[in-house]
Chain A
């Protein structure tokens, strides 16, 4: 069986854990400001209709008294590493999807439900955080099941009950079906997964295009993708949208410095180093440019700052969004040519 373990309202739960005075209050994580978005919402906040990816201004309007906690990615990220270390005690086959989500291949375990319960209880005692889990014969079923198990629960779908579980669900629960595709399916009278399963691949292809065959397979609970353990980051990035367009090189430099620090920490945890820096700048007219520069050892800050300063000098406009990415990642285990300067 495969388990999908998903932390409940991860960032918000971490903030609630670390700020007991907020317990019982609606809490979101994100930057407070006209351009901020909700990165995570606690279950209390969700009662007010506040969800992640919602503009912060709207969230505050919907939910008076909303607590807005600025994100602390370094904390989330270190918890995430801890979680992975815990999973690794049970199986070598772990596929991280995000900081708060993982697939675990549990085919070696006779009673995966008991193992997952144990993992969740250990997460609770070691990190003080709630996690939900879905367990199923494949990734797709496990993921849908974990959604149904939330909050703080687990749901095991045995191979023989897959169709019974899936078929009454709306088509939006099919992987890859967003609001537009769901609408298109509904327009053809396909509201529940069972109806998709009953359609022919040809009909589905006519409705949704090439993904028709995939939808048909999913509707029959079939998904043969293995848990990918050899996942390796190829690039990392972060970005910042300014409250007000910013033309002050010093302030831009401070933001960039934070981004450099964050990326360097992430690289450190992955035991990787980068060969390329990519600076992304969005100007007030929304024109967005990216500039890459080869990195020599230890110069992410210098390289990215000189690109930023140069673009600012040339374009002579304030910056709406500043992003920094690193690419050409290689393992730290690869020998490094050291530099003189």
Chain B
């Protein structure tokens, strides 16, 4: 294999594929990027066997062929090269020669044949969504996935449901749940439910831009496939049964609070500074009634804090406590002026959504306070 390529193209390609490389992988080949060069194209592939990325960049092949190069090392070298065309040549002795301006490098490679096969989507039915809205939806949902040390692996993924012209994304860690509906273009009437790893969702959103231009993807054969411009990514889907999210979407509320998103976000962030109780971290008490919501935090040995936020409120007064971090997480990913915080009572879930919109719902369970326990025990 021998080729010439713009340095910038190579830098971009190596950056994109590096996302799929696990530097601690026990298999040496997985820390390598596969170069395949033919005609005017260099395609670079990396995978950790669950998640993989392929990017094609313009190059002039002097001799087509393929080789697996150590990704980190190559990335470090290429990033520091002067801004001149880069010439790569893989020799039969397994060495890759890198020439750029007056610089020369020679590094070891592995044979391309050792590189694992990458699942190919072939001719699968696809659905399309505007990049900007899909990117926003992923951002508003994926943060609610469970971290990997949690016991239920399915909850580290985003439940993805395609039916008709609607895509539904749901993520939960068991204590809060983010739900998003999105209109999609589904020309072939694809109907599918799958759990896409949260990580793959985040990688996808990194590749998306803020345009109305559609992105197409498919969910089939246990894989999620998506290609955007010159990048194609795939991820193994998570197996298992996702919790029945419909069951925990509250159907009715007794209390409705409309509140400025930023003022509530700021107030809770300030309360969190003192909410440091070890056994119930980030505990924020909300006292809502009339036209105000009083937030407070109290950690013996640390301090107390209180702040009042103006609300438009309907319903009986309520004292309810939350893990303030859960509320902050949701308020931070929204970009609306006002949110509606719909509540039932102090032991049932509340729902946060952008005011006047129904596509997004964030369900959050409260923290049961001591007083309630005592009353219940009497």
Contacts and interface: CB of A to CB of B under 8 A. Distances in A.
Interface of A: 271, 293-294, 296, 330, 332-341
A335 B367 contact: yes
Given A334-B279, A335-B280, A341 B366 contact: no
A154 to B, nearest CB: 36
A337 B175 contact: yes
Contacts of B177: 340
Nearest to A303: B151
Nearest to A296: B174
A337 B279 contact: no
Nearest to A332: B373
Given A340-B177, A340-B349, 13 more contacts: A330-B279, A333-B373, A334-B280, A335-B280, A335-B370, A336-B280, A336-B373, A337-B323, A339-B174, A339-B175, A341-B172, A341-B174, A341-B243
A332 B280 CA distance: 12
A294 B244 CA distance: 22
B365 A340 contact: yes
A336 B174 contact: no
Nearest to A334: B279
Interface in B38-56: none
Nearest to B279: A334
Contacts of A332: 373
Nearest to B155: A341
A271 B377 CA distance: 10
B363 interface: yes
Q: How large is the interface on B (under 10, 10 to 19, 20 to 34, 35 or more residues)?
A: 20 to 34
Contacts of B243: 340-341
A338 B367 contact: yes
B151 A335 contact: no
B280 A339 contact: no
Contacts of A271: 377
Nearest to B322: A337
Given A330-B279, A333-B370, A338 B151 contact: no
A339 B365 contact: yes
A212 to B, nearest CB: 41
A338 B377 CA distance: 17
Contacts of A340: 172, 174-177, 243, 248, 349, 363, 365
A63 B338 CA distance: 80
Contacts of B367: 335-338
Contacts of B374: 333
A47 to B, nearest CB: 46
Contacts of A293: 151
Contacts of B172: 340-341
Given A293-B151, A294-B151, A340-B363, A334 B370 contact: yes
Interface in B359-378: 363, 365-370, 373-374, 377
Given A294-B151, A296-B174, A330-B279, A338 B369 contact: no
A188 B374 CA distance: 60
20 contacts: A293-B151, A294-B151, A330-B279, A333-B370, A333-B373, A333-B374, A334-B279, A334-B280, A334-B370, A335-B283, A335-B321, A335-B367, A335-B368, A336-B280, A336-B367, A337-B367, A338-B366, A338-B368, A340-B175, A340-B248
A340 B366 CA distance: 10
B218 to A, nearest CB: 29
B347 interface: yes
From B244, B323, B370, residue with most partner A Cβ within 10 Å: B370
A337 B321 CA distance: 9
A332 B374 CA distance: 9
Contacts of B174: 296, 339-341
Give 6 closest A-B pairs by Cβ, nearest first.
A338-B365, A335-B280, A341-B243, A334-B279, A336-B368, A335-B367
A330 B281 CA distance: 14
Contacts of A333: 370, 373-374
Contacts of A334: 279-280, 370
B90 to A, nearest CB: 46
A335 B346 CA distance: 12
From B176, B177, B363, B373, residue with most partner A Cβ within 10 Å: B373
Contacts of B280: 334-337
Interface string B264-287: 000000000000000110010000
Contact of A338 (B279, B283, B347): B347
Nearest to B370: A333
A332 B371 CA distance: 11
A294 B323 CA distance: 19
A141 B366 CA distance: 52
